[in-house]
Structure 1
Amino acid sequence: MAASKLDLLQSVLEAAGGLERFNQVEWIQVVNDVDGLFWAIKGYPGRQTVSAYVDTKQPRVIFYNLGGRLDDPHLRWIWTPKYLSIERPDGSVVLSREDPFKHFEGHTLHTPWDDLDLLYFRGYAMWNYLMTPFYFTWPGIRTKEVEEHTENGQTWRVLEVTYPDDFATHCRVQRFYYDERYQLRRLDYASEVIQGSPVAHYVYDEKKVDGIMFPMLRRALNMKNGVGVGRSMVLINFHKISLKGPQVRSNL
């Protein structure tokens, strides 16, 4: 007998390390390289090494070298869904923006970005990726299992996730594909901030960090006939992921 729809989400959570363990984590510290064709289109070419702290209790990410045109390594780049700021170590604000999502109205793939556009996109993307699948249990987020998907001889179960209208993510409805071990293999979306076409985003090289599983390599491709094709639009390679407790909060 096939497992129920509820069983898929529960199995995914358990395979990722369990909700109880994840709830003990306050911050996720990461260091990763970012590359791919997409960044040159937006005016940020070349591979960049990014470090960040991801807040697990609320949508917030603090970057310490985002790779923007403001290249001062001492700046803090702070993302939240409703307010962005780039700050000096003393807390003085260099740049800021309220309601940043509205700034993308009329944008297309080829609209150039400024540093705050870059901060918004990388902030919500980083937060979503590191919080998957645990934030699927948050209020207002709905999940359901849909038809299985077969690709390269593998059959994956598919979890469709629907987000509230004001939730900072790629788009309102996304699909997450899981293998027989309940490990994430792919997610699909079309980024609203660029009015983008569908993307197939593949993940690889899972690593267990203090009991929680994370993909260490991510590759986003344009989608054709239901699969990803061509060169990497976005390539993310994580060199370091570590979990932090509440003592980190006062030091950021």
Structure 2
Amino acid sequence: MESTLVTVLFTGLVVSGLVKLSALGVGWGLARTRLAERWRVYRRALAPGQLRSEAWAAVGVVLCDALLVGLFRYFSGPRMAPFSVPVALLSYAWMFVGFEVWFYVTHRLLHTRRLYRFHSQHHVAQVTEPLTSLSFSLVERLVLMGGGMGMVVLAMQVMPVTQAGVMGYILTNYFLNVVGHSNTEWLPRRFVSSWVGRVFFTPTFHALHHARYQGHYGLFTVVLDRWFGTAFHDYTLVHARAREGQGLVRIGERLSPVPVPEALPATQSESKAA
């Protein structure tokens, strides 16, 4: 039993580490393209020491995830349902929606005065970059991972759950986290005004959270922020600026809509000419 558990933990470490490194590698590569330079949300340098701090935190996150995922697979694996496409899709949907709610609630709590010390590591970055996606304190990571595992355990009480559906969501989570912390707006202007953009996030959405701290607590959707009044009014304007290659240069900068000038009354001569 011990050797089997050790094997599972070691496999978890290798797989978890490789997946995270792959996501970071893609993120770092894209971040250095000309398009990424053009579409920056914040056109500012990183904070001094930010990369070093985030790198050390990332090491702890990789080890923590490997241990938790390995243990969870070892003890819950036998209870997983056999693979089927409908069950895998249902499992994925459950994880996506359930974790979205868990993340919003815990994220707001971690921004309260008493709990913020457990979240402050993530906000070493006012301007984000791909490594920020792994920059968490161990306490916060335990909260996030515990929520995800709790979703699986809860789901197994009421429906079949497949390993493929759960792992599919974990992969989505890793890669979208890198995209969301890229400080690069990859999505076109029309996205945020579409029905899809009224549900799902953009890199601009999360970049504003890091710069402003309060607001935009959602993970990969904007729905709960819209419902609970924590969305920034100038989100679409900042998104448009990033896509135009005119990203913000000040952390506290807020944008206001450009007022449309009122039509002036026609002069007497203009009236006669008409």
As a proportion of its length, which structure holds more helix?
Answer: 2
As a proportion of its length, which structure holds more strand?
Answer: 1
Question: What TM-score comes out, normalization by structure 2 length?
Answer: 0.24
Question: What TM-score comes out, normalization by structure 1 length?
Answer: 0.26
- Structure with higher Rg: it is 2
